[in-house]
Structure 1
Amino acid sequence: MWRCPLGLLLLLSLAGHVALGARQGRMRRELAPGLHLRGIRDAGGRYCQEQDLCCRGRADDCALPYLGAICYCDLFCNRTVSDCCPDFWDFCLGVPPPFPPIQGCMHGGRIYPVLGTYWDNCNRCWQAGNHSAFWGMTLDEGIRYRLGTIRPSSLVMNMHEIYTVLNPGEVLPTAFEASEKWPNLIHEPLDQGNCAGSWAFSTAAVASDRVSIHSLGHMTPVLSPQNLLSCDTHQQQGCRGGRLDGAWWFLRRRGVVSDHCYPFSGRERDEAGPAPPCMMHSRAMGRGKRQATARCPNSHVNNNDIYQVTPVYRLGSNDKEIMKELMENGPVQALMEVHEDFFLYKGGIYSHTPVSLGRPERYRRHGTHSVKITGWGEETLPDGRTLKYWTAANSWGPAWGERGHFRIVRGVNECDIESFVLGVWGRVGMEDMGHH
């Protein structure tokens, strides 16, 4: 849990320590190591632009203080060993910078590259870090390969909401976590890898928990995202994206097996060829229940039980209604917009920090994702204000965020997370309560 110090604290952990000091003449400049080779990359710093500097040839006065060093806005800086200011390429030359930008945090009109903790008057207390899973990936590739939920059509977005009524005088707890109310029934986050299949992963994650809760723990499957990715092909695109309404329709009408039975094949983004074929089908066996017509694709597992859900329902976007539903019936699924800084989240209470305002469009891409909300809480800030948050599970593996989870500001529709929230019931009959 973060303790926010009084005033403003900015912790910088630079990737590579550089302290060149003030400019020390031409020889010093010629011998200086390249700023960007030493890991000082200030993705959003508007140095040349703010001073309106762009000098021809070599002009040692065309320089600005830069994070304890000096950077230049003249053409001479653009050499093999570069000491250019970070916006030299796009502002002076009109081309993208030749190194992958490291996003940072804005403070006092300047953006700092941060691999540490960022505090902005204690309003935004979350920690950024560089995740090895994303090394070598551009922002565009992150949006294309790590998300994968298609924004619902207007017809689905206008889906009738089920309003949860709080009883007169009913007070919800200030903190709640599904795993504490239902121990051993709430499953850990999976990892979608470079498969744009969050539509399948978040659906399977919420369904797994709810089948476990609604069967009172008699069934505790980790449901198979691969079953959805490979077999739910009607207007769905597998690892290239899909729709939540289609995923829930498939879980209701066809059902899926467990992840042990039908494990994730982990197709990578650069793997050519067709998507893996569907290896599991089911048939009706009366009373709406279905059974598998194929063995598990995994030869080590024989249990090919089919799990189904009831029709999905949409919650109102009031945070109290979402909280009551979560506390009574289990984790819910939420749509959210992922911005560039979310990839760097390491811990704390996330809210989108517009570090890339004023940057070219390619640094401000965002896309639609879906996640599992598992609980909520609140923290008191030093000035006495209360910061309310949701806890949620992502599908980027346990190394991302807080062991695969994250916290995000609650009650203000941060990143659209309260705009489209879904719940469902596991389809559980009396016969399911005994032999699983």
Structure 2
Amino acid sequence: MSLRRKLALSLCLAFGAGAVSMAAVAQRQEKVDAKRTLVRAGHVLDVKTGKIADAQTIVVVGDRIQSIAPSASVAAEPGDAVVDLGGMTVMPGLIDVHTHLTMNPDFDPYKELTSTSAKEAINGVVNARTTLMAGFTTVRNVGAYGFVDVDLRDAINAGQVPGPHMQVSGPLLGITGGHCDENLLPIQYHLVGDGVADGIAQVQHKVRENIKYGADLIKICATGGVLSKGDDPQASQFTLEEMQAIVADAHRLGRKVAAHAHGAQGILWATEAGVDSIEHGSYINDEAIAEMKKRGTYLVPTLYLEDWMVEKGNLPALYHQKMLDVSAVAKKNIKHAIEAGVKIALGTDAAVYPHGLNAHELDVYVNQMGMSPLAALQTATVNAADLMGWTTKTGSLEPGKWADIIGVEKNPLEDVRVLQDVKFVMKGGVVYKGEGSVAK
């Protein structure tokens, strides 16, 4: 080795050792400087068991829960911040595994065609804050153009804007002319969706491309959809072989796969291909139910949007009939799937209706689908965390997990609608709503 190379190597090693040493000092100093926040809760709900513990204190250090104990045994120390939630029921922040934070419920085709990545980034900043303030401290964003959701996630993580923890998919993968393509303009414009791919080689490329540009998961369109031109929600789109290739690459590269699927054949094929969740599931049948139970595949119903559309929706004619057709059968079929024991995680499709109304989905699960209040809450906590692969981070209030805490005025097991009016929100140890909030 030349003298120059030896000197360069020595300098690199010395700098590396110094960097490690400085990092260790910084970490130790951070622990020394870490302040405790004592969340004095009147009642703490264990979403795993449904049990309520009265007069509890949750000790938060940094972005994590350090301990939970009876308040009488946790004395405040000098420098502690104390949050008084003595009149509230406290539980983990809610999780929505099917959002589109960069989109809004305006389906005028002209508005769709004139949208830009910049406009969607602005939407995302506004809608992320709205979602967080509604008590949803974690979301999956399953579809955004131009990887805008990647930038939104990164801005939230950097503390630039308030919003929930996010897993993001980037562009939706779909076939030419399918639900995830751009079908509003004639051929001379050659407009193609960001995630369009046909054939095994192309879908593998798209999976790898999405991961390259920051996707945490892969979202595919296994069937047609409602809010798209010229496709049938019951018709399969990707072939079984294409979906198998997508799942194989995604799983090998450490990403889960969510499949938009209304039609029974597409639900079955996507499940057989190994996707981790079926989104919507409107025409689910016994064959697909059996396959999902066999494989442990989650179903993510998006049901409140149907109620909102009936009451307040104003869809263009090219979408209206498809919405009526899907709404006529979806709840009956999904209730059958729930009763059959298919695993459920809460998803809303927020953007099809206004952001911030996410907790209305729980009302549908309890008062229309027949779920117990505890089972419904578990879809938005422990189940959703499991689907995301984040069980060690969120989904319940436990030492070591993120300090994602919400407070409501009464026990949601007695009236799940109380979650439509969350009074206190802490995410990652920072209070965003309620006493001591820092983000207005």
User: Would you call these one fold, judging by a TM-score over 0.5?
Assistant: no
> Normalising by structure 2, what TM-score?
0.25
Kindly name which structure, 1 or 2, has the bigger radius of gyration based on alpha carbons: 1
> Normalising by structure 1, what TM-score?
0.25
Q: When you count helix as a share of all residues, which structure comes out higher?
A: 2
